[in-house]
Structure 1
Amino acid sequence: MNVEKLTKMAGSVRTGGKGTMRRKKKSVHKTTATDEKRFQTTLKRIGVNAIPGIEEINIFKDYVVLQFVNPKVQASVAANTWVVSGTPQTKELHEVLPHMFDLLGPDNLQHFRNLTAEHFLAATAAEEGNGDVPELVAGETFEAAAEEGHTDTS
Structure 2
Amino acid sequence: MDIQMDREKLMKMAGAVRTGGKGTVRRKKKAVHKTTTTDDKRLQSTLKRIGVTNIPAIEEVNIFKDDYVIHFANPKVQASISANTWVVSGSSQTKKLQDLFPSIINQLGPDSFANLKKLAEQFQKREANRAEGGDDDDDVPELVEGETFEEAAKTDTAS
Give the TM-score normalised by structure 1.
0.58
Map of 1:96-107 to 2, 5 A cutoff?
96-106=100-110
Taking structure 1 as reference, are residues 8 and 59 closer, same or farther at Cα in structure 2, changes over 3 Å only? same
Q: Which digits, 9 at most, give the CA deviation of each residue in 1:116-145, with x for residues without a partner?
A: 6759xx8xxxxxxxxxxxxxxxxxxxxxxx
- Partner of residue 73, structure 2: 69
Structure 1 residue 46, shift from structure 2 partner: 0.5
Deviations 1:5-52, CA, capped at 9 Å, x for gaps = 3343223337xxxxxx89877352414221111111100111111112
Structure 1: tracts of 5 or more residues without a match: 15-20, 123-154
Answer yes or no: is 1:10 the counterpart of 2:16.
yes
Give identity over the alignment, percent. Answer: 49
2:38 corresponds to 1:34:
yes
**Number of residue pairs aligned between Structure 1 and Structure 2:** 115
Which secondary structure does the structure 2 equivalent of 1:30 belong to?
Answer: coil
- The whole-number CA distance in structure 1 between the counterparts of 2:100 and 2:118 is 16
Distance 1:112 1:46 in 2: 34
**C-alpha distance 28-53 of structure 1, shift in aligned 2 (>3 A):** same
The 1-side partners of 2:120 and 2:73 are apart by: 22
RMSD value, Cα:
3.2
Task: Encode CA deviations 1:53-78: one digit per residue, 9 max, x unaligned.
Answer: 11111111212211111111111111
Q: TM-score when scaled to structure 2?
A: 0.57
Give me the whole-angstrom Cα distance separating, in 2, the residues matched to 1:41 and 1:72: 17
Q: Quote the Cα distance in structure 1 between the aligned partners of 2:115 and 2:67.
A: 14
Residues 1:43 and 2:47 aligned together: yes
Structure 2, unmatched stretches of 5+, are 1-6, 128-159
Deviations 1:86-117 (A, max 9, x none): 22212122211222123334554345336667
